[in-house]
Amino acid sequence: MTAAADIALVIFDVDGVLTDGRLLFGPDGETLKSFHVRDGHGIKMLMAAGVRVAVISGRRSTAVTERMRELGVNDVAQGVNDKSRALSELLARTKIDARHAACLVDDTPDLELMAAVGLPAAVADAHPRVLAAASHVTRAAGGQGAAREFCDWLLAARGDKR
């Protein structure tokens, strides 16, 4: 396992991590998502500390595009069936070694991604197999400040007191 202080890239899943996993549909069939404002601030602090942030999500959503644009997260892959391949492409593009990457995830489609990074993490309410594969588990549930908690933990490991 890679030490938290050595992480250069953090990959977040969206549904169940940056949201509570519920899908709400508007009157015109659009998908609505609820993001925790503190998670966004944690992501911004992480980027300000020089840690690259990316999103790899199995679903495609305009809400995710807009929220990541608002936060300044440029590495956003949506509608991804093969998260390991998306990770490989991201690592090649950024020239970051997988050992210096972390992910925060919640469900079994993320297990291969977890196996490919140096620091696999899960939200508190993740699937049991994901919890078993995680090197770090947040106390907070997905969409309830788990991403902020993870960002704070990584920043503290770096000695950053933001």
DSSP secondary structure string, 92-153? HHHT--GGGEEEEE-SGGGHHHHHHSSEEEE-TT--HHHHHH-SEE-SSPTTTTHHHHHHHH
Q: How far apart are CA 100 and CA 149, in angstroms?
A: 19
User: Which structure tokens are listed for 121?
Assistant: 């993490």
This prediction has a pTM of: 0.94
Q: Widest CA span of the chain, in angstroms?
A: 47
**159 pLDDT above the threshold of 90:** no
The one-letter amino acid code at 76 reads V
Could you give the CA distance from residue 42 to residue 82 in angstroms, rounded to a whole number? 27
Residue 90 predicted with pLDDT over 90: yes
pLDDT at 22 over 70: yes
Q: How many CB atoms lie within 10 A of CB 147?
A: 30
What pLDDT is stored for residue 162 in this prediction? 62
pLDDT by residue (tens digit) across 23-81?
778 788 777 788 999 999 999 999 999 999 999 999 999 999 999 999 999 999 999 99
Residues 6 or more apart whose CB falls under 8 angstroms from that of 7 comprise 51, 100, 101, 102, 118, 119, 154, 157
Please name each of the domains of the chain with its CATH number.
4-157 (3.40.50.1000)
